[in-house]
Amino acid sequence: MIVGGAGRFDRPSLAEQNFSHPAYLALAEAIRAVSIPVQHTICGGPFTIEAARMLRQQAQSLPGDSR
């Protein structure tokens, strides 16, 4: 599972620069990619718990997961 932000900035940003890298793009095509709202990925804070819940739900829905 590869995680990306669910949203894009209007202008080029360093926060999303890695999402255009060829290695990331190749990996994202090969495995399941999930997105979480960008406001949960910018900085750590209380909302980080919600982001962890979202990721857990996504991971549990992957084939072969017995948890």
Question: Domains of the chain: which residue ranges?
Answer: 2-60
State the pLDDT at residue 5: 67
What is residue 6's predicted lDDT score, i.e. its pLDDT?
65
Task: Tell me the CA distances in angstroms from 45 to 5, 25, 35, one per residue in order.
Answer: 16, 29, 19
How many Cα atoms sit within 13 Å of 31 on the Cβ side? Answer: 10
**Residue 65: per-residue pLDDT:** 54
Q: Kindly state the helix (H) or strand (E) to which residue 54 belongs, with its residue range.
A: helix 48-60
Write the single-letter amino acid at 54.
Answer: M
Q: Give the residue among 29, 5, 35, 32 at the shortest CA–CA distance from 18.
A: 5
Per-residue pLDDT of the chain (67 residues; tens, 9 = 90+): 777 766 666 777 776 777 778 988 888 888 877 778 878 877 788 888 988 998 898 888 877 654 5
